[in-house]
Amino acid sequence: MTDRPHHIEDVDAERLKNIQEILLEIASGNLSLRIQRTERNDQLEALATLINMTLEELRNSFIHQAHVHPPDAYGFLGQTVFLLDPMGRIESFTPNAMEFTGLSQEELTGLPMEGLIGPDSRKKWKSLYEGVYRDQGRGRPLVLSFGKGQGLLQKVDCLISHTIDRNGFTQKTIVVCFKIFRRDKLREKELSVQVSRYRKANTAPKKKMYPINSQDAALLWKIHDHILNNLERPLPSLIELAHNFGTNEFKLKNGFKQLYGDTVFRFLLKERLKKASVLIQHSDLPIKRIAQITGFKSMAHFSRSFKKKYGYPPRDLRKGGQKNGPIQGVPD
């Protein structure tokens, strides 16, 4: 058995390091990186290809989720901006560009934009860059791969546009790189702020209030979201629901009331009735079917709860909505 040359072992070690690094990035929620392909035809290359394909599928599914799961689960945040001169060289940039590219200010200044882009994106960049010039500043979206360390690429959504002078002539190119982020992370922070404000505003409450930390708040938000996504299904007891999410009945009962102003089951009833009112006004589904898909066990229970909440029976809302639009006082 012949020994492998040292340079091949070094290359393979670097490739394994890249695979390990990208797996750690995936675990932390970063789906923008890709492993740069090589000309090798071995198991490591096959693994790299599989990881890249999986990342592409995950990224596309996340973008899809942003369209089909309200409220918007994902958003786009302007992360890094480059300003290019007429020759396509980097003239200025936002401060985070150095962290984004791994280059210093001196290395970035004057560098052609093509120098930042991975080989697989350069043809697309050149074509779109010239096209934006012809469109006199109209922005064009593009997904580009940027170098991120040796052997790694990060895939980023970008918008390419141009500034124009008072005579309508193109002057400079603007490249805005976007970052996909999960709105639930922002909501978790908002919940933490909300809890903090609540504590300050209720320093001497009549009833003893128990502190909620950000971890508990995030867990309660998950339960809140679970209820909204499963309105048609029976909700288990508070003990079972709490255990399903790794908490206890006391924290669930008290924390949910503090954050959302209602008990778990009262919140569930309100959301079911709200969904039912929308379906009655904006769909042709039979009211009996609407009662079923919003989680009511019987038509009688549904009608009674609906009238108690809104002051109208469901059938009157259907008639009123069809003839005169939604009845006032019922959510649209």
Examine the pLDDT at 250 and tell me if it is beyond 80: yes
Cα distances (angstroms) measured from residue 244 to each of 2, 225, 236, 247, 257: 56, 14, 10, 8, 19
**Amino acid residing at 147:** G
pTM, 2 dp: 0.40
pLDDT in tens, 132-150: 656 554 567 777 888 765 5
Query: What average pLDDT is seen over the chain?
Result: 75
Are 329 and 311 spatial neighbours (Cβ–Cβ below 8 Å)?
yes
Residues 130, 225 share a domain: no
Mark which of 133, 153, 182 sits at the end of a domain.
182
Query: Which position has the token pair 């039979």?
Result: 286
Burial class of residue 10 (count of CB atoms within 10 Å of its CB; 0-12, 13-18, 19+):
exposed
Examine the pLDDT at 189 and tell me if it is beyond 80: no
pLDDT at 326: 40
Please indicate, yes or no, if residue 96 is contained in any of the structural domains: yes
Residues 192, 122 share a domain: no
Please indicate, yes or no, if residue 331 is contained in any of the structural domains: no
Mark which of 134, 149, 182 sits at the end of a domain.
182
Of 152-156, 219-223, 244-248, 313-317, the one with minimum mean pLDDT is 152-156
Residues 191, 299 share a domain: yes
| CA neighbor of 153 nearest in space, from 30, 66, 65, 251 | 30
pLDDT at 301: 93
What is the distance between the alpha carbons of residues 239 and 222, in angstroms, rounded to a whole number? 16
Q: Which residues contact 236 (CB under 8 A, 6 or more apart)?
A: 244
Domain hosting 32: range is 6-68
What is the distance between the alpha carbons of residues 302 and 149, in angstroms, rounded to a whole number? 60
Give 88's Cβ-side CA count (13 Å radius).
Answer: 16
Burial class of residue 264 (count of CB atoms within 10 Å of its CB; 0-12, 13-18, 19+):
buried
Query: Which position has the token pair 């895939």?
Result: 155
Residues 64, 133 share a domain: no
Q: Which residues contact 256 (CB under 8 A, 6 or more apart)?
A: 220, 223, 224, 262, 263, 264, 267
**Amino acid residing at 101:** T
What is the distance between the alpha carbons of residues 82 and 96, in angstroms, rounded to a whole number? 10
Q: How many domains does the chain have?
A: 3
Please state the rounded mean pLDDT for residues 163-188.
66
Please indicate, yes or no, if residue 1 is contained in any of the structural domains: no
Residues 309, 225 share a domain: yes
The residue with greater pLDDT, 28 or 37, is 37
pLDDT in tens, 304-316: 999 999 898 999 8
Residues 83, 104 share a domain: yes
CA trace torsion 131, 132, 134, 135 (10° rounding) = 120
Q: Is the peptide bond before 205 cis (omega within 30 degrees of 0)?
A: no
Residues 319, 188 share a domain: yes
pLDDT at 138: 58
Mark which of 127, 160, 182 sits at the end of a domain.
182
Tokens of 93: 């940039």
Please indicate, yes or no, if residue 329 is contained in any of the structural domains: no
Residues 191, 176 share a domain: no
CATH of the domain at 198: 1.10.10.60
